[in-house]
Structure 1
Amino acid sequence: MDGDHGHTGAQDDRTPRRLGRTGRLLCVAVLVAVLLAIALAVGIPGRDDPALLDQVHLPWWVLALAFIATETFVLNVQVRRETQTISLSEIPLVLGLFFAAPLPLLLARVVANAAVMVVVRRSPPVKMVFNVALLIGSTCVAISVFSALAPSTGELTASSWLAAYAAALLADVLCALAIGAMIAVHDGGVNVRGLLTEAGSVLVPALGVTIGLLAVTSLVASTSSAWLLVALGAGLLVGFRAYASLAERHLNLERLYRFSQAVSSTPGTDELMGNVLTEAREILRAEHATVVFVASDGGLVARIGLGATGRLTRSEAPPSEQDAWMIREVVDGGGTLLMPRGTRDPRMREWLEAAGVRDAVAVPLTGGAGIVGVLVVADRWGDVKTFEPDDVLLLETVTNHAGVALRNGELIGRLRHDALHDALTGLPNRTLLQRELAAALEAVASGRSAGAAVMVLDLDGFKSVNDTLGHQQGDALLVEVGARLTAALGRAGTVGRLSGDEFAVVLTGADDEEAAVRVGRRVLRALEHPVVLDGLEVVIGASLGIALAPAHGDDPAGLLKRADLAMYDAKTSTRSLRVYEADLDADHPRRLTLASDLRTALQQGDLQVHVQPQARLDTDAVVGVEALVRWEHPRLGWVSPDEFVPVAERAGLIGALTSQVLEIALAAVASWRAAGRDLGIAVNLSTRSLQDPDLVDEIARLLRRHDVPAARLTLEVTESSVMGDPARAVALLHQLRDLGVRLSVDDFGTGYSSLSYLQRLPVQEVKIDRSFVAGLDRGTENVAIVRAIVDLGRNLGLDVVAEGVEDQATRDRLAAMDCDLLQGWHLARAMPVEELLPWLTARDQAPHRRTVRAVDSSRRA
């Protein structure tokens, strides 16, 4: 029994762990060394012994030809994912033991088997080394055992017969153990029962030994019987090969029978496809099986695959160029594709390389409406055989059974359902929602419905759930949200999942905005109660955008887009629900122009940064400035930040805008420090900036580049930007505080959670909103608010900055309240960066005069 061990590179489902490539090579080297050591130990003592019988002289090349013949006509037996080759090589081995010296016999067997492995089997180098070592070791063991047990009288006796049996038996035990060990190495562990089973399968060689002994007896009696023996041997080899082929066909018939029974009794889609692919893979003894379902127009519907791990995978991804070729060849041509190893067809080689397999068979899969797909089996186990025309017939039989199951079942309907529904939540997906919305809009257009509405809902803080509790709990949260939304909506409409943590609702018969808003608030209330995940109560929120038909559009894509714009606006503000308005539309001509031109301006560095000084009220000393971004459009003139900053947020440009402002601001601070002015600078952060995980690293990099102390940079955030995602924002602010930068709350007093969140935020400064400062001379209410903020800041150890100070009277009132800093026109208007140093010099030269820079009011901060 010869070992032909084929490693396929995929893990057996039944083995929990396998060695890496380096580990396997090391184990093979150890096995080779052991086999060669055995050969040296048992072979050296008898290397010069003569042949036992001298009646016939067998040259080594004659024995080599006999070994080649017996190794070519073999029986290949599949053991798990490996192929063992059983031959009648014991016949020439017995002849050699009796009629040849040890060294010629060893040479003949090694040369013959090496030739077969190179020419016939095309074995890889590692396998060749192992098999040669195995042949050397087993042949030396056979020669040694035979020499030790056979009588040295030079006669053919019963004792010499027993010696031949013992020699072949022990040689095959060694082969079985070595092959079993090799299989164990590739499977990732030693299976003692498997090794014993392999060692016990030595009854097959007894037939070859018996025939060999009959041949020896015949030759001793008469050398002229050699021609009869040659004819007998040829007949045995042909019969042996025929038996092997018959046994393989019988085994395939058994597998087909089991397959037909399994398919006919499979109720579910996944179970049916699992059985089809599993049996197709087992029958053809391959690693992978895939079925590709196609629509009537040739488009891909779904791809279901089964790999070495035994798990079904499903995909609706469009086919690659190579897959499209394969599908056309099989579906349009209605034929089969046989792609064996070593094929010279360039398209086949291209497909095999793209798929990462060595060989494959593809046949059409027929359903009730004709050809509905392609069944592909790839990567045959082992290295001995590749796919042959008989395998194509087998796979065609498999597809015929599968086609019957398709026609009798509801597989196509189930696949269509899966294509239109979300796999996780079971809700309609984007495709089905658009169909539902299209039907609703058609009803509105025909007058059968008063109106329709679409809602887009996005969860708040979903990423933090995934990051903290893991994706499994995140999936559980999505399932729960889908169930709550469905229950809250009832029969009023359809709930679907668009992607990630984004859901949509289609309302039919929504005849006015008020009715849609009522349903929207009911949907949001359904999410107010905590969700228990992994033993923890998780509070979830959501932002909801609503678009109405026909008021806001009459096509599904446009209406969904407008609802998405409204949702985004709700997310960036403190509101949880927003109805679409025209000024939100990113396709507004002016906004579209601004988005395109703003991208160009950022790339070309056309944005400017102006600065407005801040001075201490007690000393009147200028201690810092606030950076204010300015954009002079080449055609539209000066564009207000209130207009182009939201455009930057919607167009995904806010990160680049913030980085450019920080770059210019810190470069200015560095130049002022070089000129002897140690001033700080404040830069505003948007809501999107507080959601950027790379912000801290970006600021640290810019501080290092310009060699500016972190304490000279103040980052201003608004209460509304923090309230968008409090947990993430507070965590990011703590990282910035650890970096050493100063933090300030801008527009303080306008939010609804100022006092509660101020204690949680790691800030050093608050800025009183200009609306309170400008109204100090109009009533006691604003005076009380400003005084309360100043007192609060003093008690919390925070600096208080008053914005919008425009006259001396307001300045004096703030000084009387012990406010720390002022900023406004009374001190100076915003000016270009390069004009700050001259302004400071002029102010120093006239300390008792208030200098106010004349700037067009349209450029006011």
Structure 2
Amino acid sequence: SVFIKKINKNLSLWAILNDKNEQSILSLVWKDERGQVSIDFEPIISDVIRNKYCDDCILSVVSTVGNADKKISSHNDVKNLSSLPPLNTEVFNNGLILRNYVDPQLLSLISIDLKPLLFIVGVFFGLIIFLFINLYIKRQLSLHSLIVKGVIRKEFIPYYQPIINVKNNRMYGCEVLVRWWFNKKELISPDDFIPYAENSGLIIDITDVLLEKTLTQLSSLNWQKSTAVISINLVPEQLENKQQIRKFVDMIIKSSISPKQIAFEITERMSFTDLDKAAIVIDYLKAQGINVKLDDAGTGYGSFSYIQHLNLQSLKIDKMFVDTIGTYDHKLFVLDSIIAFGKKAGMEMIAEGVETKQQSDYLLQSGVYLQQGFYFSEPLKFEQFRHYFQRDQAKI
């Protein structure tokens, strides 16, 4: 009973109601006229293996810390297994040490038995992985072809989200957001195709369609008679391609909208591969009167290095930081730091994702008066935006 109290809770105990006491590491036995109860201390897996393969190919030894050579209990070491390195050693909190020794021939036998099972398991999981990869590739190929068809059919359409100057409650401009009107029946969310389009390069063709439709639609509103700015998202790859950018500039010049009313936003979701080349392209855009803004500031690749290297003068504060207003989230300090940096650098700042009056008021008090989000308006289809723009212009 003293020994049982010291046994670690991780050891197994079970009672065997028979009169046999063979092949045990350590047994406690009670016997009287009614019969015998034996408690054996041994992992049951040892008995299973031993009974299947051999009687003397597993040796378990119990000793104490500081007396590793003094065995408390062990099986009869017929094959002198204790001269081999132990297969595993367990040291328990009560000072007991359990060592298990295994005949190498037994390991070979088990390995031979397991090979067919492991082969079957390997083939099964290999087949699952193959089917998953095959399905993924087919989906990507299917999505790729559907996007290509969508570009040809010009299924990608602009939605417009107003950007408000909260100092005078007038519209500063709008951000153009792409939507996919698939087969002219189903509206597909940007989250379902934008990541793939960006990674595959198809976003360039989508932007062509989007810019063309945007210039046509907003020209019909006499946009050029206002001072409002149109913001369009580009990926870094596009700003490293001067030929592509010249094509955009030509489209703008041919429209009735002034280049000064156009701004390109660089998304931080992807990194630049050549900042020097991008700097040359951005200087070219500035010479045409087109502003370039840093979108999602603080969430992606090297915001401040972009601002410094590319000489950007406008940034958009991501919704992630705006959401921290009124909370104890540590990112609120990041928001304040971004705003402080923008002020110090004399940058134009626009806050995205504004959804409450509390957020709007906090940003205004912090000096960020250009704001965008559901608090003011959700992204609008052209017909909805037409009415919004006309109401705003009527305030003049």
What is residue 299 of structure 2 aligned with on the other side?
A: 750
What is residue 32 of structure 2 aligned with on the other side?
A: none
CA–CA distance in 1 between the matches of 2:286 and 2:135? 35
What is residue 66 of structure 1 aligned with on the other side?
A: none
Residue 814 in structure 1 maps to residue 363 in structure 2: yes
CA–CA distance in 1 between the matches of 2:367 and 2:285? 28
Q: Tell me the amino acid that sits aligned with residue 300 of structure 2.
A: G
Q: Cα 1:683–1:779, aligned 2, differ >3 Å: closer, same or farther?
A: same
How far is 1:593 from its partner? 3.3
What is residue 216 of structure 2 aligned with on the other side?
A: 667
What is residue 716 of structure 1 aligned with on the other side?
A: 265
What is residue 322 of structure 2 aligned with on the other side?
A: 773
Normalization by structure 1: what TM-score? Answer: 0.30
CA-atom RMSD, angstroms? 3.2
How far is 1:755 from its partner? 2.4
How far is 1:769 from its partner? 0.7
CA–CA distance in 1 between the matches of 2:273 and 2:265? 16
How far is 1:615 from its partner? 1.1
CA–CA distance in 2 between the matches of 1:645 and 1:773? 23
How far is 1:549 from its partner? 7.4
CA–CA distance in 2 between the matches of 1:843 and 1:712? 17
Residue 587 in structure 1 maps to residue 148 in structure 2: no
How far is 1:607 from its partner? 1.8
What is residue 729 of structure 1 aligned with on the other side?
A: 278
Residue 739 in structure 1 maps to residue 275 in structure 2: no
Deviations 1:527-574 (A, max 9, x none): xxxxxxxxxxxxxxxxxxxxx9787549xxxxxxxxxxxxxxxxxxxx
Q: Tell me the amino acid that sits aligned with residue 612 of structure 1.
A: Q
Q: Tell me the amino acid that sits aligned with residue 626 of structure 1.
A: E
Residue 699 in structure 1 maps to residue 235 in structure 2: no
Equivalences for residues 419-568 of structure 1 within 5 A = 553=130
Q: Cα 1:770–1:791, aligned 2, differ >3 Å: closer, same or farther?
A: same
Matched-pair contact (CA < 8 Å) for 1:711–1:740: yes
3-state DSSP of counterpart to 2:361: helix
CA–CA distance in 1 between the matches of 2:353 and 2:361? 14
Q: Tell me the amino acid that sits aligned with residue 732 of structure 1.
A: V
CA–CA distance in 2 between the matches of 1:726 and 1:674? 33
How far is 1:821 from its partner? 0.6
What is residue 29 of structure 1 aligned with on the other side?
A: none
Deviations 1:93-151 (A, max 9, x none): xxxxxxxxxxxxxxxxxxxxxxxxxxxxxxxxxxxxxxxxxxxxxxxxxxxxxxxxxxx
How far is 1:661 from its partner? 1.1
Q: Cα 1:699–1:811, aligned 2, differ >3 Å: closer, same or farther?
A: same
- Structure 1: any 5+ residue segments left out of the alignment? 1-446, 452-510, 512-547, 555-580, 848-861
Matched-pair contact (CA < 8 Å) for 1:608–1:629: yes
CA–CA distance in 2 between the matches of 1:738 and 1:846? 32
What is residue 230 of structure 2 aligned with on the other side?
A: 681
How far is 1:624 from its partner? 0.5
- Structure 2: any 5+ residue segments left out of the alignment? 1-114
Q: Tell me the amino acid that sits aligned with residue 624 of structure 1.
A: G
Matched-pair contact (CA < 8 Å) for 1:773–1:782: no
What is residue 47 of structure 1 aligned with on the other side?
A: none
Match of 1:690 among 239, 243, 266: 239
Normalization by structure 2: what TM-score? Answer: 0.62
What is residue 123 of structure 1 aligned with on the other side?
A: none
Residue 645 in structure 1 maps to residue 200 in structure 2: no
How far is 1:609 from its partner? 0.5
CA–CA distance in 1 between the matches of 2:333 and 2:232? 29
3-state DSSP of counterpart to 2:138: coil
CA–CA distance in 2 between the matches of 1:585 and 1:709? 44
CA–CA distance in 1 between the matches of 2:370 and 2:135? 37
Q: Cα 1:737–1:550, aligned 2, differ >3 Å: closer, same or farther?
A: farther
3-state DSSP of counterpart to 1:828: coil
CA–CA distance in 1 between the matches of 2:277 and 2:134? 29
Q: Tell me the amino acid that sits aligned with residue 760 of structure 1.
A: H
What is residue 292 of structure 1 aligned with on the other side?
A: none
CA–CA distance in 1 between the matches of 2:135 and 2:161? 31
Deviations 1:785-813 (A, max 9, x none): 22221221122121111001111111101
CA–CA distance in 2 between the matches of 1:641 and 1:724? 25
Q: Cα 1:680–1:843, aligned 2, differ >3 Å: closer, same or farther?
A: closer
CA–CA distance in 2 between the matches of 1:616 and 1:699? 27
Matched-pair contact (CA < 8 Å) for 2:353–2:372: yes
Q: Cα 1:726–1:719, aligned 2, differ >3 Å: closer, same or farther?
A: farther
How far is 1:843 from its partner? 5.2
What is residue 166 of structure 2 aligned with on the other side?
A: 617
What is residue 388 of structure 2 aligned with on the other side?
A: 839
Deviations 1:833-860 (A, max 9, x none): 232231234456799xxxxxxxxxxxxx
CA–CA distance in 2 between the matches of 1:676 and 1:693? 29
What is residue 827 of structure 1 aligned with on the other side?
A: 376
Matched-pair contact (CA < 8 Å) for 2:353–2:373: yes
Higher helix share: 1
Q: Cα 1:711–1:656, aligned 2, differ >3 Å: closer, same or farther?
A: same
Identity over aligned pairs, percent: 25
Q: Tell me the amino acid that sits aligned with residue 381 of structure 2.
A: P
3-state DSSP of counterpart to 2:264: strand
What is residue 332 of structure 2 aligned with on the other side?
A: 783
3-state DSSP of counterpart to 1:613: strand
What is residue 334 of structure 1 aligned with on the other side?
A: none
Q: Tell me the amino acid that sits aligned with residue 354 of structure 2.
A: V
Residue 657 in structure 1 maps to residue 201 in structure 2: no
Between the two proteins, the alignment pairs up a number of residues equal to 277
Q: Tell me the amino acid that sits aligned with residue 685 of structure 1.
A: L
> Highest relative contact order (Cα 8 Å, sep 6+), 1 or 2?
2
How far is 1:687 from its partner? 3.9
Matched-pair contact (CA < 8 Å) for 1:609–1:664: yes
CA–CA distance in 2 between the matches of 1:844 and 1:738? 29
Q: Cα 1:670–1:678, aligned 2, differ >3 Å: closer, same or farther?
A: farther
How far is 1:688 from its partner? 3.5
Q: Tell me the amino acid that sits aligned with residue 226 of structure 2.
A: R
Equivalences for residues 42-441 of structure 1 within 5 A = none
How far is 1:636 from its partner? 8.1
3-state DSSP of counterpart to 1:776: coil
Q: Cα 1:606–1:844, aligned 2, differ >3 Å: closer, same or farther?
A: same
CA–CA distance in 2 between the matches of 1:592 and 1:635? 21
